[in-house]
Amino acid sequence: MMQQPYTVSRDDIHAWLREEDPTRLEALWRMADETRKANVGDAVHLRGLIEISSYCSRQCGYCGLRSGNRSIDRYRMSADEILECARQAVEFGYGTVVMQSGEDWGITCAWMADVVRRIKAETPLAVTLSLGERTDEELATWKEAGADRYLLRFETSDPELYRLIHPTPADRPRQDRMEILRVLRGLGYEVGSGVMVGIPGQTYDTLARDIDTFRALDLDMVGVGPYISHPATPLGSGGWRRQIPPEEQVPNTEGMTYKVVALTRLVAPEANIPSTTALATLNRAQGRETGLRRGANVVMPNLTPVKYREMYEIYPAKVCINETSNECRFCMQVRIQSIGRALGTGQGGRVRGGVPTAGQTDAPNRQGDV
User: Predicted confidence band at 350 (pLDDT cuts at 50, 70, 90)?
Assistant: confident
The CB density around residue 87, as the number of other CB atoms within 10 Å, is 15
The CATH number of 10-343, from 3.20.20.70, 3.40.50.620, 3.90.320.10, 1.10.3720.10, is: 3.20.20.70
Handedness of CA 36, 38, 39, 40 (dihedral sign): positive
Q: What is the dihedral of CA 341, 349, 117, 172, to 10 degrees?
A: -100
Per-residue pLDDT at 129 exceeds 50 = yes
CA distance linking residue 293 with residue 341, whole number of Å = 10
Q: What single-letter amino acid sits at 291?
A: G
Q: Where are the domains of the chain?
A: 10-343
Range in 127-131, 314-318, 363-367 the model is least confident about: 363-367
The 10s digit of each residue's pLDDT in 35-44 is: 999 999 999 9
Q: What single-letter amino acid sits at 19?
A: E
CA distance linking residue 264 with residue 32, whole number of Å = 8
Q: Answer whether 292's CB lies under 8 Å from 275's CB.
A: yes
Q: Answer whether 198's CB lies under 8 Å from 250's CB.
A: yes
- What is the Cα 31 distance to its own chain's centre? 22
Q: Answer whether 161's CB lies under 8 Å from 242's CB.
A: yes
Q: Note the pLDDT of residue 184.
A: 97
The CB density around residue 174, as the number of other CB atoms within 10 Å, is 11
Q: 129 — phi, psi (to 5°)? A: -110, 140
CA distance linking residue 308 with residue 98, whole number of Å = 16
**Mean pLDDT of the region 79-97:** 97
**Mean pLDDT of the region 20-27:** 97
Determine how β-strand 149-151 pairs with β-strand 126-130. parallel
Q: What is the pTM of this model?
A: 0.92
Give helix 325-338 / helix 79-92 axis angle, nearest 10°: 30
Q: Answer whether 98's CB lies under 8 Å from 130's CB.
A: yes
The CB density around residue 358, as the number of other CB atoms within 10 Å, is 9
Picking from 63, 14, 74, 56, the residue whose alpha carbon sits closest to that of residue 267 is 14
List the Cα angle 205/206/210 in 5-degree steps: 120
Residue by residue, DSSP assigns 19-84 as ---HHHHHHHHHHHHHHHHHHH-SEEEEEEEEEEE-------SS-TTSTT-TTS---B--HHHHHH
Picking from 3, 41, 121, 34, the residue whose alpha carbon sits closest to that of residue 345 is 41
User: Each residue of 195-210: b (16+ CB within 10 Å) or e?
Assistant: bbbbbbbbbbebbbbb
Residues listed for the chain: 370
Picking from 319, 348, 349, the residue whose alpha carbon sits closest to that of residue 335 is 319
Q: What single-letter amino acid sits at 113?
A: A
Per-residue pLDDT at 288 exceeds 70 = yes
Mean pLDDT, the chain, as a whole number?
91
Per-residue pLDDT at 249 exceeds 90 = yes
Q: What percent of the chain has pLDDT over 90?
A: 79
CA distance linking residue 212 with residue 281, whole number of Å = 26
User: Each residue of 313-323: b (16+ CB within 10 Å) or e?
Assistant: bbbeebbbbeb
Q: What is the dihedral of CA 262, 360, 98, 370, to 10 degrees?
A: -70
SS3 150: strand
User: Predicted confidence band at 277 (pLDDT cuts at 50, 70, 90)?
Assistant: confident
The 10s digit of each residue's pLDDT in 310-328 is: 999 998 878 788 888 999 9
